[in-house]
Structure 1
Amino acid sequence: MRFNKIHHIAIICSDYQKSKQFYVEILGLEIVKESFRKERLSYKLDLALNGEYIIELFSFPDPPQRPSRPEALGLRHLAFEVDDIEESILALKNKEVVTETVRIDELTNKKFTFFSDPDGLPIEIYEK
């Protein structure tokens, strides 16, 4: 077996409209397709970055909570590469998104920081 690439990341949110606004208006992801699945009372929003399909955002009635801090068991975080971390932090701040203090990756010497989506999912920005 040979994998070609990661096809997508699926995220279940607690407040669909709030999360849709965050991923589209704050992070700037592009809507590929939005569907309401009546039988499941669920939205599915397909999102792209620079034309490449990357995230499926789902809503379900009363989804169970899951630990999501970076050191919790399971998927650690979602990371986006940026050209300029300070510029990206300022853009997030201007949209009222709080980021953690910038850190330096001890293995690559690159700058990175974290912020959270509306449900507390850790999101990283990592300088190219």
Structure 2
Amino acid sequence: MTTKFVHHICIQTNHYEESLKFYRDILGFELIEESPHFHNRYYNSWLKLGEFYIELQTGKVGENLDRVYPNTQGIHHFCLWVDDLVKEVQTIKQWGYDFILKNGEAIYQVENGCLCKLIAPEGTIIELRDNRGI
């Protein structure tokens, strides 16, 4: 079998600057490339965290993208492992972002660790967890 790994996900947004700030300044992705006016889009950019990439793009010129809903088919969320979940949550809260609460709490216990979820400006659900296992 050939070697395979997840290279990137593509996230589309109507709020490019806000989404870029979220992934870069809040979650720590590095902006690798930003291409304005890319194939009839306002922007198509690449962000990197470790060996994982996000392709962040706007809709095509004049297009207003529909919002993603958590109860639809397809990718529901993506997850980032963090070494200090409490510190990450405190930092993100300082930036003014809200978390999806479970039983009134941002951080909650799962089978073998803790996690939390928040919603990026374009509607993508981001899970942060402190357990590297499944």
Name the TM-score, length of structure 1 as normaliser.
0.85
In the alignment, the residues of structure 2 paired with residue 68 and residue 31 of structure 1 have an alpha-carbon distance, to the nearest angstrom, of 27
Matches within 5 A, 1:52-91: 52-60=51-59, 61=61, 62-69=63-70, 71-91=71-91
Measured in 1, the distance between the counterparts of 2:34 and 2:130 equals: 31
How far apart, in 1, do the equivalents of 2:37 and 2:128 lie? 32
Q: Percent of pairs identical after alignment?
A: 28
What amino acid is aligned across from residue 19 of structure 1 in structure 2? S
Single out whichever of 87-96 and 30-39 deviates more from structure 2. 30-39
Q: Does 2:123 match 1:120? A: yes
Q: Structure 1: give runs of 5+ residues left out of the alignment.
A: none
Give the paired residue count: 124
Counterparts of 1:58 and 1:7 in 2: how far apart (Å)? 16
Query: Which residue identity lines up with residue 54 of structure 1 in the other structure?
Result: Y
Distance 1:16 1:85 in 2: 27
Q: TM-score, normalised by structure 2?
A: 0.82
Which has the higher mean CA deviation after the structures are superposed, 96-105 or 2-11? 96-105
Cα distance in 1, alignment partners of residues 44 and 16 from structure 2:
9
- The structure 1 segments of at least 4 consecutive aligned residues displaced by more than 4 Å after TM superposition are none
